[in-house]
Amino acid sequence: MKHAYFRFYAELNDLLPMPRRGLTFTHAFPAAASLKDTIEAFGVPHTEVDLILANGEPASFFDLLRDGDRISVYPLFRSLHPGPFTYLQRQSQCEIRFALDTHLGKLAAYLRMLGFDSLYRNDYQDSDLAHIAASQQRTLLSRDRGLLKRSLVTHGYLVRETQPRRQLIEVLSRFDLAKSIAPFRRCLHCNTPLQPVPKELVNDRLLPGTRRRYDHFHHCPECDRVYWKGSHYQRMNALIEGMLQSPTSHELQP
């Protein structure tokens, strides 16, 4: 039997069994396995890992575990990096786009409300989500570790919180999105970018009170919904401000 030594850092410890958190532990293995398979066997999806060091040198998910290896596993580095290594979760600087699993419908609505491209349907199968995330270069948000362990998924995040508003704060913090918020530019129903529409083109669809009080409207070209800054707009604005000013969102402040 061969042995290797593992140490997980920072929030990755939350995904480990209690006896393995915050310390170096021994892993016995009979035959060589990839670092990805070994790390995921401990309960940590590869999408949570940004850097692996094997005996102090950077390693890839596909490297094989060897007898006597000392493996250090790190999450995404948000500020200081430990060295000039190749990081595993680097993304392009283009606008981040999400795909969300079937358990995160409310989170998807909140992300759309803040202007983020968030693909969601409640009938997607896991295989569909993995394929969509890979083919459309979307970051997959999920509470299902098994889904995030699929090799097809290159970028993803395991959402820890269970309450949707706290999930939103968690995702905004994880991806440093506070400065990218652009509310009310996407359809809350289907995620399509909204387009300004002259009032006269939607007049016949409006209630008398709405026609009298509002002059500026937006239209979803996909599902044909019409939006305006009515009482719902004020409620959503208050919701956004409340979430970003909550005690748990202090890290979002510039």
Q: What is the CATH number of the domain that holds 43?
A: 3.10.20.30
DSSP secondary structure code for residue 156 in this structure: E
Q: Do 147 and 224 belong to one domain?
A: no
- Pairing status of strand 70-74 against strand 51-54: antiparallel
Q: How many CB atoms lie within 10 A of CB 102?
A: 15
Q: Name the band, by pLDDT with cuts 50, 70 and 90, for residue 213.
A: very high
Phi/psi of residue 231, nearest 5 degrees: -65, -30
Residue 253 lies in a domain: no
Strand-pair partners of 73: 8, 52
Residue 250 has pLDDT above 50, yes or no: no
Phi/psi of residue 67, nearest 5 degrees: -60, 130
- How does pLDDT run across 42-83, given as a tens digit for each residue? 999 999 999 999 999 999 999 999 999 999 999 987 655 555
What mean pLDDT comes out for the span 153-172?
A: 94
Among residues 42, 59, 74, the one where a domain terminates is: 74
What mean pLDDT comes out for the span 25-38?
A: 94
pLDDT of residue 249: 45
**Between the CA atoms of 192, 198, 200 and 204, what dihedral angle is there, to the nearest 10 degrees?**
20
Q: In angstroms, rounded to a whole number, what is the distance separating the alpha carbons of residues 40 and 45?
A: 5
pLDDT of residue 253: 36
Name the domain count of the chain: 3
| Residue 6, domain extent | 2-74
Q: Do 102 and 180 belong to one domain?
A: yes
- How does pLDDT run across 104-140, given as a tens digit for each residue? 999 999 999 999 999 999 999 999 999 999 999 999 9
DSSP states along 5-66: EEEE-GGGGGGS-GGGTTS-EEEEESS--BHHHHHHHTT--GGG--EEEETTEEE-TTSBP-
What mean pLDDT comes out for the span 10-25?
A: 96
- Answer for the pair 220, 194: CB distance below 8 angstroms, yes or no: yes
Helix (H) or strand (E) holding 73, with range, is strand 70-74
Residue 177 lies in a domain: yes
pTM for the model: 0.85
pLDDT of residue 23: 97
pLDDT of residue 229: 85
DSSP states along 78-114: SS--SSSPPPTT---SSPP-EEE-TT-HHHHHHHHHT
Residue 198 has pLDDT above 70, yes or no: yes
Nearest alpha carbon to residue 70 among 5, 21, 1? 5
Residue 246 lies in a domain: no
Q: Name the band, by pLDDT with cuts 50, 70 and 90, for residue 252.
A: very low
Residue 241 lies in a domain: no
- Pairing status of strand 2-8 against strand 70-74: parallel
Residue 164 has pLDDT above 70, yes or no: yes
Nearest alpha carbon to residue 110 among 166, 45, 179, 38? 166
Helix (H) or strand (E) holding 128, with range, is helix 126-135
Q: Do 176 and 204 belong to one domain?
A: no
pLDDT of residue 231: 78
Q: How many CB atoms lie within 10 A of CB 1?
A: 7
Q: Do 173 and 103 belong to one domain?
A: yes
What mean pLDDT comes out for the span 228-240?
A: 78
Q: What value does the mean pLDDT of the chain take?
A: 89
Q: Which residue has the higher pLDDT, 251 or 96?
A: 96
Q: How many CB atoms lie within 10 A of CB 243?
A: 18
List strands edge to edge, sheet with 98-100.
118-119, 98-100, 139-142, 156-158
Residue 159 lies in a domain: yes
